[in-house]
Chain A
Amino acid sequence: MLTINQYVKAESLQQAYELNQKKNNVILGGMLWLKMQKKSVGTAIDLSNLGLDTIEETEDSYLIGAMVTLRTLELHKGINSMTNNAVSESVKHIVGVQFRNLATIGGSIFGRYGFSDVLTIFMALDASVELYQKGIVSMEEFSKMPYDNDLLVRVIIKKQKMKVAYLSQRNTNTDFPVLTCAVSNIEGTYRCVIGARPKRAVCLYDSNGILKDGITQESAEKFGEFMKGQIITGSNMRGSEEYRKILSGVLSKRALLKLKDYEVTSYAD
């Protein structure tokens, strides 16, 4: 059970940051994962009064406040039209609407969970995080960083010409994923992110140039084999290491073939 001694609605990021330096204090996201833990919290720090629950659009980016819910992301027209609806696809299998109305992007990303659909897709989008102390860090770098007492303020997606496809495998609908896979082509660079492996998501590149002449059935198959050979997976109650390896090959191939279709449809004009 989670116990909380004191609750503070932070009045500024500075105050939240200072409070967060104490070891048994904690920042509240949607509280969905936090509540599942046996933990005694000194001060629970709530960021919900800091205006971080909106998605701002600037000329070159989308700035997603830490308290933006997964449901808001799922329904966001601009982000979804830029990403072939991959953002919507990545979150819509997470439990239910009521859950996604609470779960925040800040909580999902900061946790860097080994089951995260959200981390997987945002790594594929080449997004960044804005940390209160460290400033802007790429999502790929952030995914490897150890946990600390910094504060996640925003997630930033640059507006770029991109093609993205997201797929996940679940034993049953609304459950945690057994494996997640997002493939993107941003400015000619292919990224393949595999998550829920069950470690933190990892970003792999087309380092052998398999896709240098574009996506065909054959190159997609080759790329899938390459991913399967590269990826490090593990076992847990949802799936074995070997099963996950096979899945990563299959899902990366399928995601690539989806990209190929986008090539035909979204750039026809």
Chain B
Amino acid sequence: MQIKLWLNGKMVTEDVAADMLLIDFLRAHGCFSVKRGCETANCGLCTVFVEDKPVLSCSMLVARVDGKKITTLEGLQEEAEDFGAFIADQGAEQCGFCNPGLIMNAIAMFRENPNPTDEEIIQYLAGNLCRCSGYEGQLRGIKAFLSFKKEKGGVC
């Protein structure tokens, strides 16, 4: 079946199988930030935006996103670098495997709730698993990023 979608701002038209998952489509198009980490839809590593909402690309048929706008980390380089540095500063990035998924979901959170409490941060990012850390470093990184943005007076 033929589908058309916008991947990081570019229009892509392609013939796909009925059971092709979005994650496989994205990786076939060079978006290697999108990772398969668990096979059980609970690690968050495959997070991408469909129409600006974060979803698990491992559980979504590409057929379902026909006509939609898809954004991966590759399409958010500036925002990702900006925020990623704060995570790295805390030494929270160890193997780095879970980082793209976490950054995607954190960006979604900043857009939805620019002033989250600690509890809201933990709640929002609970679906992003990290096997190296205890999440404390990431939380510190997020808070440091938020207060940096606040000082600059900008919105995230």
Contact = CB atoms under 8 A, between A and B. Distances in A.
B54 A98 contact: yes
A99 B41 contact: yes
A35 interface: yes
B71 interface: no
Contacts of B76: none
B8 to A, nearest CB: 18
A41 B61 CA distance: 13
Contacts of A6: 18
Classify chain B's interface size: 20 to 34
B124 A97 contact: yes
A210 interface: no
A32 B55 CA distance: 11
Nearest to A41: B19
Contacts of B40: 36
Contacts of A95: 41-42, 126-127
A96 B18 contact: no
A32 B18 CA distance: 16
A31 B59 contact: yes
A225 interface: no
Contacts of A44: 18-19, 61
A217 to B, nearest CB: 28
Contacts, number: 79
Contact of B42 (A3, A7, A99): A99
Interface string B99-132: 0000001001100000000000001111110000
A43 B47 CA distance: 27
B18 A7 contact: yes
B59 A32 contact: yes
B105 A98 contact: yes
Chain B interface SS verdict (over half): mixed
Nearest to A96: B127
Interface of A is mostly: mixed
A46 B64 contact: yes
Contact of B60 (A2, A9, A31): A31
Bin the interface of chain A by size: 20 to 34
B56 to A, nearest CB: 5
Contacts of B109: 97
B63 interface: yes
A81 interface: no
A174 B126 contact: yes
A44 B18 CA distance: 8
Nearest to B17: A4
Contact of A101 (B18, B53, B123): B53
A248 B109 CA distance: 35
B59 A96 contact: no
A211 to B, nearest CB: 32
B58 to A, nearest CB: 8
B44 interface: yes
B28 interface: no
Nearest to A31: B59
B18 A98 contact: no
B66 to A, nearest CB: 8
Given A2-B19, A6-B18, A174-B126, A96 B44 contact: yes
A44 B20 CA distance: 12
18 contacts: A3-B19, A4-B61, A6-B18, A7-B19, A28-B61, A28-B64, A36-B41, A46-B63, A96-B44, A96-B128, A97-B105, A97-B108, A97-B124, A98-B47, A98-B105, A98-B127, A99-B42, A101-B54
Interface of B: 1, 18-19, 21, 40-42, 44, 47, 53-56, 58-61, 63-64, 105, 108-109, 123-128
Given A35-B41, A174-B42, 8 more contacts: A4-B61, A35-B58, A36-B41, A48-B64, A96-B42, A96-B125, A101-B53, A174-B127
